Structures are given as C-alpha cells and as structure tokens.
Structure 1
Amino acid sequence: MTSSKAPTKVLAAASAAAVLSLTACSGGTTGYDFTEPVTEPTQSIGFRIPDELLELSDGYAENRVYESITVTAVESEDPSQCAVEYQFEYVEGGLDRLVEYYERLNSESDRDDTVEQRMAGRLVDEDLDSIEFGEDYRSAVVPVTCAVSPNDAENTAHVAFSHIVEDESITFASAEIAVMQSNELFVHESEVNDGWQLDSNGNWIQAE
C-alpha cells in the first residue's frame, strides 16, 4: 500500500564554494537523521530516523526494519571506480521480518529471483552479482561510479529505510550519496515519505 502523499525532499549537498573551502575529512562517523545537512566531507555517515519522528509515525515505528544504516567509503578493487561498505543495524525482529517477506514473495511469484537477489535490491539497490554480502545481511561492499562533484546526481550510492506493511515493503525515507574518488562522501539529496516534513522551527509535521 503506497502513500499518495508526495515525499518531502531535503537538499543536503554543500555549495560548490563551501566544498572548495573544505580540505579535510571529519574523523569518525558523521551522524545524519534527515534534519540537518552534512556540510563537510566525511568518509563515513551513520543514517537513522530521529526519535521525534518515530514517536509521531507509529505505523513506521512498529513495522520498521532498521535501527541505523552506516555507509563508509572503502578502497575499490578497480582504481578507476569507488566503493562503499554498508553496515546494517536491524531493530529486534527486523531482519527476520524482511527475509520472511521475500521468502513469501518468492513462493508466490513465477520469477526465478532468489531471496538473496531480492535482498540485494532492497538493501543497496544493486544486482547481487556486483556486491559482496557479509554474514546475515549485516554488511555489504558495493562498487559505485565515482561522483564528478559533491552535487553529482547521476552517480550515487543509495540508502533506504523500509518497513513491511500489509505484505508490502515500503520505503519510508531515503538518501542519495555522492562518493568521490578521494573517499569523501556527501549526502546529495534525501527525502521522507508519507507527507512528513520539518517546519521552520524544526518540528516534524505531516502535510496534506
């Protein structure tokens, strides 16, 4: 069951002038909760849905899959390409719920896709033959085309927070990440669905 409400988009890439003035990556993992843009280059970004939004969106909170998704720039086997590693932290029962969903989907479908192939599409938006999954779908290394600039909308890695509702996997929030060959990451664009958006005071509201 998809929502008819338009997603709210948050443009999060730094301006070209600001990017040129930044010369060093921040240490550790930069947190991103769909409220404030990442304004400095970083090698690792930890995505999560803010607690305030979880409290307001009961339907998502009760059926969500992830606690957090961390994306880190890593060295690519192909020096002309880039690569990222995903780390998935699942809520209690979230991974089982997702795997069971795709197992059920396979049993009801005439397609030859395996559960692992479907999981690759959901978790990292890529074909299975191009990625390397870790144990229990808790990590994945994914090759990506290097971005031309932090504002490159064509060459990005994808992050999506999903929940299972009425036998359907639905994306609640997502983000596109530009990956530079220097291993710098920039959140190019993000969006929260179901009409949720921040007002001018930083409060989450649900628009019609």
Structure 2
Amino acid sequence: MAESLRDILEAAGRGFFPVADGGITVVPQHGERDAGVIAFTAHSVVFTDEEEGWVRGTLEALEALGCDPLAAAMNSRFLSALGERAGRTNDTIDVLLTGAPLPGRPEVALEEVAGPGHPRVVAAGRRRGGVRVWAADGGVLVLGRGVAGRLEVAVEVAEGARHRGLGRRLATAARRLAGGEPVWAQIAAGNARSLRAFQAAGYRPVGSEALFLRP
C-alpha cells in the first residue's frame, strides 16, 4: 500500500525520512484545504489532487531546461504552475522544523484564551483546525491541527518583550503542551530571529515547505 502524506509526516516526526535518492513522491492531499510541496534531503513530496502525470511531466520539462532535479519541485516555475493549475496561492517557502514532546508543565506563565472570535484564533483558522491560544506576558502561543493533521505551533512576541528569551520559552512550552506527539513549526527562511528561537528550544530543521491554500 502506498504511503499517504500523513504516513510520511508521522515518520518524519519520529526522525525517519524518505530515502535521499533524488526522487519525487506524489501523494493525494490529506484534505481539501492543504496542497503543496515538502522538500526533504534529496527527496521531495508533492501533495496535490492534480494528476500525478501532470506533476511528473512538468518537473521533467523543467529538468530538460537545465533545472537541478534535486531542486525542481521547489523551483519557482513549478510552484507557479502548480498554483495556477490548482487555483491556489502560496505565500512563501518555509523552513519546516519539528520538536519532540516534553514532559512537565510550561516554564512560562500562560493563560488560555477562550472564544472562537479571538483575533489569533481567526487568523490561524485559515491554515489550522482545532486552534488553541495561550497568552503570556509579552507573547502569544498558538497550537492547531495543520497539514495532514499534524500539530503546528506559532508564537508571537511583542516588540517590547524581545531579546529576553520569551520566544524560546514559548516554543518550548508548545512541546510541553503537545500531549505526547511531535510539534511542527513553519518559519519563513528569512525570519532568522524566529529560527534561532525555535532551534534553541530544541526544534530541528527537517526540510522546506511550500503550502498552497485557496484564495
């Protein structure tokens, strides 16, 4: 039986990745909301409900034009073609990180914010389901179910609370609130401050991701 996107991500969350053979795996979307590309080391996964033949044919055409086969699935021309064909938009290519769950209680004081109308719940709801939000002094922590049901985290630190390690403590708190499963983070490659905070909190980069959503 072929692997599903959920199978691939669950394995990656445990540290087991697709074989670094330069290949492309094409799998159906887990749900209607999310389509995209994940590039692991020397192996890319395209998750889309578009025809697999179209995906592979488009990538082969790029390679014939001189595109590096290892980078073809993240090439801007392929991403543009995928978005146009699927009628979807992509904001950026993110670094994809995972953090193993941790025991114990968060070391930063958190208060869960109730209510579906909270601005952070509304903002996160476009990309995630089951969103929960916690407020801290100077920051916000968001957890929700994203791509293929994985548990995703986002943190926000107020300008006046930066450079004090709060981002790292919030990212670590997410691992303690995870209920025994890996936590995933998607961070824009240029957001060096956030990348440093998550790596300091024990998250490790596992690949890159271009996510397509309906406009």
Normalization by structure 1: what TM-score? 0.30
Return the structure number with greater helix share: 2
Normalization by structure 2: what TM-score? 0.29
